[in-house]
Each structure stands twice: as C-alpha cells, then as structure tokens.
Structure 1
Amino acid sequence: MSTNRYEMKLSGSSPVDRSATKLLYVSTAKYGGDWHSLLHTHACTEIFYVVGGVGQFKIEELTLPVTVDDMVIVNPNVEHTEVSLNASPLEYIVMGVEGLEFAAGEDGDGRYSMVNFHGGREDVLHYLRGMLHEIETKSAGYDVVCQDLLEVLIIRLMRRTDFSLTPAPPRKRASKECAAVRRYIDSHFKENITLDLLAETAHVNKYYLVHTFSREFGVSPINYLISRRIQESRYLLSDTDHSLSQISHMLGFSSPSYFSQSFRKLEGVSPMEYRKQSKPEK
C-alpha cells in the first residue's frame, strides 16, 4: 500500500473580502431575433459567461465580438448591452457581484475585461450551474454555497489572467427591493406591468415601493417604466417602418395617443417628428 499526504499551508488571506463582496443574483438568458437591448448600467459588477451562440457586447462606444466560452466582466456604472445574432442566438449566464471591481493590467481598459475559457469550459459551467441550482432550490445554506462557488470561480479567473481585484468604492446602494424592481422593469418593459405587479414582485406595499424607488432613483417605478419604453421606441422609430399603432402595442402602451403624449413629454417632439429627424432624406 502506498499513500500520499499533502499538508495545507494556510495563507490566512483570501482575494475576496466576504464582508463586502456579495453575490447578488445569477440568471440565464437566450435571445431570439426579436430582441433589441439598450445600453444600461448596474451599480454592481456583472460577469457574463457565453454558453452558446455568437453576438456582440457593446461597452459604451466599443463593440466586442463574443462567442462560446468568452467571459466578459463589466465594472459598475459602465454602460453596456448585449446583441444577439439571428443565425446563432446568444446564450449566457450572468452574475451580479457587489463590492468588487476587476482591474486589468497596464494596457487594459478599466471599464471591462474579457477572457476566453477554452479548455476550462467544464470547470466554469460546473460552478455556474451549481450556483443556479442552489439559488433555484434555496436549500438550507444555499447562500453560503453560492458565495463559496463565486470565490472559487474568481480565483480560477485570476489564475488564467493578469486581472486583479479592487474593492468597489463606497457608493449609495439601492435597496434590494428597488434594485429587483428595476431589473424586472429592464427585462419585462414590453409586457403589461402595473404598480401592483411590481409591488408583488418585490414583496412590499405599493405605496412604500413608490416612496423608496423614487428616493433611490429620482423617478417613480411607473415613470421609469415609461422611460424604458420610450428608449426602445427611439430605436423602432429610426430603424423600422412600424406604424405608431404597432410600436405602441409592441411596447405595452394603452393607446397610440398615450404613447405619443409620453414620447413628446420626454423627447420634446412627437414620434413622427423624431422619425423624420432620425432618418436621412432619400
């Protein structure tokens, strides 16, 4: 019989400060050809892992092609969005992480980092799918397991690259309820959304939600919803030939007149005037 024994040499430190760095959410997305995403920001760092398809990530004025096994890390408050290609819909898993930022090397871009995990796919998917399973089932201690998996994943990432971690600077943090409501609106703004539905989603009283959301973001939940719809309508007006009635219906407005009224209030011109201004004359 032969045995091997390896002694652990504890360093006493971890690259992740658990008192500040928290996993906020994990979600999956697979886009079809009808999805048009808009530039947006988050107060946390987002880590995307592409599990299928091809597409692009837009980081402010930059456009990055992405494919399977690419990991994209976007630091807090950096405008970004994902674009899927119709022939091969983009599919990814994304984590929201509070309390940390990734710092690239000397030649890196402080807004984002990207690395391909070719050859390490099974390891990465093991950790990510483990997080998804724990969050979905919510068994006892699931939050501890998810935090452990996050830390292992970050260490593996640091081994493959020259990335380093920095604590995120102190900033005003939205309450979990308000952040959840904003994420819900960002993902479902084309659907029929009411204040009652948002309050139910956040498990809070609707009057409390209006007060706290307005205090956190400077706008009420419903007005934020309208602004997201108007953002999307600008793309539809300038890049498609859909009628106002069609656009109004697609974006969940109760009527074309209410859409026109809301658009003029936010943009200062009518939808048709905006369309004429945004399309070059032939």
Structure 2
Amino acid sequence: MILASPPFWMLPATVLAALAYGFPALAGGRLNDAHARRLLWLAWVAHAVALLSLLIGPVRFGFAPAISVTAWLVVTAYMIESQFFPKFKARWAMGGLGTVAVVLAWWFPGTPLATQASAWLPLHWALGLSAYGMFAAAVVHAWMMTRAEHEIRLAHDAESGLPLLTLERLTFRFVTAGFVLLSATLVAGVLFGDALYGQGQAHWRWDHKTLFALLSWVTFAVLLIGRSQWGWRGRRAVRVLYIGAGLLLLSYAGSRFVLEVLLGRMG
C-alpha cells in the first residue's frame, strides 16, 4: 500500500483540530458547556483550514477527505442547531467524529485531481458532499433518537437534552434535504457528464459507485414515501435510513477506499 504525502502546512491545522475536538469528547461532564462550545468552534475553524490546505497547489481528494468534509458539515449542522436548541447535547459525539475525520484525512490525503476536468466539477462535488453531510447528520440524529427512546423505556432522562419528537423531526428534515441534494447530484451526473469530466470521459457509467448511489437514492425515496404514506417511525424508519446511508457511503468513499488503500492505486 502506497500512501500519498499530505501538504506539510496541513499538519498544524490537523493537530489543533484533533486536540480541540478530542478534549470535549474525552472530558465528558468535567468540562462546562461554555468551554466545550469554545473548543468546538476552535476545532471547527481548524478543521476548515485543514480541508482548505488540500486545495492549495495540486488539488487533492479521495475517500478520507470526503469523510472529513462530511464530518465538518455534521459539526456545522450541530453548531447551528445548538443556537436554536441550547439544551442539545452531542458534543462528545461531535468531538469523536471530528477527531477521527481530521486524522484520517491527514493519513490519507487523497490524489491530485485530473487537470482536464471541468471548472464546474467542484460544484458537482459540492452537491454530492452536501448530500453526504445531510445524511450523516440524519444518521447521528437517528442514533441519538434511538438512545433517547431506550432511555425513556428505562425511565431515565434523555442525555441528548431534546424531546424524542424533536429529534425525529430534525432527523427527517436532514433526510429530506439530503434527498434533494442527492437527486440534484445524480441529475447533474446524467445530463452533464461530458462537461464535468471532459470530452470522452462521461462519468455516468454502470460502475460500483453509480450502482450504490442509485440504490441509496431508491432507499431514501422509499423511506420518505413510507413516512408520508404509511407513517413509518421508530426502529423501522431508522433501519431503512441506516441501509440507505450505508449504500451511499459505499458509492464514493467506499469505492475510493478500495482503490486507494486496498489496491494502492493513487492515480
């Protein structure tokens, strides 16, 4: 296995982000809310700088940067939500997710992008990564919803700090947003493949990435229809969400992981 070398200026931002993420995750209840929020904001900024460093010089991308961008978007969603729901407590989950993501992107910084690709390609990728972020946020909320339901059954107070119905409503708002973004990404790939990836390199082909993306789209469509038409809630809805998210993860990040890590193909 051959590892690509990350930009050297990525290291300080990665270390700072990992430490600022990791401390709230490890400190638990020993760290008050105000200090935890400040550390998460610091980690969020440092994480963004680490991601931007991949755009300096030859632009790099791969499975780990995709996961890192997804994690950054999940943290962004949490920071915005916490302004509207001050009692929402997920800092340890955000800290753990962010730490793993920034370290993974440092270790596997991806490969340089082809220079012949269209200038519109970053917009296409932005749509896809935004879909990743929305569905990842939905998965985090669904997991917290499942924990809250379990705690309620045991007559315990929910650790998330939010009512169960609020968590469920937020979960499906993220699912809906992700579905719209994923639909736009697939449509763009079908209609503008040549323009995005260069003449003679149309990206729409029946490979593993396309197949898993379509399967995830169908799964999320079934989930949204099931909720609106048949009132799917609770464990059934969460299971379908997990299946769709797993298929979506395999579509790009999974295929790139196989190429970059298992097969060692850096080009």
Same fold (TM over 0.5): no
- Give the structure-1-normalised TM-score: 0.26
Larger helix share, 1 or 2: 2
Q: Choose 1 or 2 for highest CA Rg.
A: 1
The structure carrying a bigger strand percent of its residues is 1
TM-score, normalisation: structure 2: 0.27
More relative contact order in 1 or in 2 (CA 8 Å, sep 6+)?
2
